[in-house]
Every structure is written in C-alpha cells, then in structure tokens.
C-alpha cells in the first residue's frame, strides 16, 4: 500500500507493507516542497503528482507486483483518474507512466489518513503571498514534553536488552537536552 497526500506547499507518500499479523509498517518516506511551477497546480494535479513521484521513486519495488498496489489518497476524484477520457498533456504523460503498474487508487478521508498528511504540514514552508494559513513558530515556545529523568526511566521500563543500544540511547538523550 502507498499512502499519498498533497497540501498547497508540499507532497508526501509512504509505502507500507502488511505483516503476517495484519499490522501495517512503513518502509520509506517521501516528503518535499513543491517547486515554483508546481505551486500553481490545482489540488487534483498536486495529489496526482504525489502518486506519480512515489511510483517514480520506488518503481523498482513496485514493478511487476502480482497483487494490485493500493494507493490511498484523500482526494476522491483520483479514484476515477484511470477511466477519465479528458486529460491534460501532463496528466497523459503521468497516466502512461502509471499504466505500467498494477495499482488501484482508493479514497480515504484526510482526517483518517494522518501519516502522509503530517509530512505535508511543515511549519517552515513559506506561504503564498497573502495566505495566512500557516503561522510562524516561536522556537522559545518549544519545550521538551518529558524531563530527562522521565525519559530515562521510561526507557529502562521498556528494558533495553543490548548494552550498546542502552549507551547510544543515553548518549542521544544527553545531546538532545544539552542546549535546553
């Protein structure tokens, strides 16, 4: 399965595999801001761009799949993309490329599809002129949720078995809290 999303400023995709116990695990992430020209795309094309870029990036994993690859998007109109008769030249190029893959586009409401949505909602992406949809973040307002002691006791409670892993985690915690 590949989950995709697009916002006004970025695209994201997450390919996942289903384990034998039914759990879904991500194996990679794609998240990038849109270029100047891509910022002018309508939402339909931005969502389609996310799918196209995901298949371009991970084609070596996806080509020749025996079972259909479920592509999950929060843009309902894309379910009908493969049967649409009127396409732009760019959509025709994308459609030709994507037709080589055994895939099915499925709609999943955005409020239920949080993983790729989170990758398209970066606070440091600059907004379009006059857009107030994104606010700047004051770094002084960012504080750790847990104290170092709480984090260490939580890690010990989960019982890290490997001494090397314990040491590296403790070292990372000290780095994390060194400038706070």
Q: Is the full-model pTM beyond 0.95?
A: no
Question: Which pLDDT score is estimated for 52?
Answer: 94
> What is the rounded (10 degree) CA torsion for 162, 164, 165, 169?
140
For the segment 124-176, what is each residue's pLDDT rounded down to a tens digit?
Answer: 555 555 555 544 555 555 566 667 777 677 666 655 555 555 555 555 555 55
Beta strands at 30-33 and 10-18: parallel, antiparallel or unpaired: antiparallel
Q: Extract the tokens encoding 125.
A: 């992406």
User: How many DSSP H helices and E strands does the chain contain?
Assistant: 6, 6
Please name the residue ranges forming H helices in 63-162.
Answer: 89-98, 114-119, 148-157
Question: Which pLDDT score is estimated for 108?
Answer: 74
Interatomic CA distance for residues 114 and 3, integer angstroms: 10
- Consecutive sets of 10 residues in the chain, 180 residues long: mean pLDDT of each? 88 89 88 90 89 93 89 73 76 90 81 56 54 54 65 63 55 55
The helix-helix angle for 148-157 and 163-177 (nearest 10°) equals 160
Interatomic CA distance for residues 167 and 171, integer angstroms: 6
Right CATH number for 2-126 from 3.20.20.70, 3.30.420.10, 3.40.47.10, 1.20.1630.10?
A: 3.30.420.10
Which part of the chain is CATH 3.30.420.10? Answer: 2-126
Question: Which pLDDT score is estimated for 5?
Answer: 87
**CA quadruple 114, 119, 123, 128: dihedral positive or negative?**
negative
């Amino acid at each position: 399965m590949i989950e995709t999303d697009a916002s006004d400023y970025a695209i994201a995709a997450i390919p996942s595999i289903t384990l034998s116990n039914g759990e879904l695990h991500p194996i990679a992430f794609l998240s990038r801001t849109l270029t100047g020209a891509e910022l002018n795309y309508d939402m339909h094309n931005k969502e389609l761009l996310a799918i196209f870029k995901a298949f371009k990036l991970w084609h070596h994993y996806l080509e020749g799949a025996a079972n259909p690859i479920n592509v999950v998007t929060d843009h309902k109109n894309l379910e009908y993309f493969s049967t649409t008769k009127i396409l732009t030249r760019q959509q025709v190029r994308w459609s030709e490329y994507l037709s080589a893959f055994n895939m099915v586009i499925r709609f999943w409401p955005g409020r239920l599809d949080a993983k790729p949505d989170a990758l398209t909602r970066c606070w440091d992406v600059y907004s379009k002129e006059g857009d107030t949809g994104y606010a700047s973040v004051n770094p002084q307002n960012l504080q750790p949720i847990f104290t170092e002691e709480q984090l260490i006791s939580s890690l010990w409670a989960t019982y890290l078995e490997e001494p090397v892993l314990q040491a590296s985690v403790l070292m990372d915690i000290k780095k994390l809290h060194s400038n706070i």
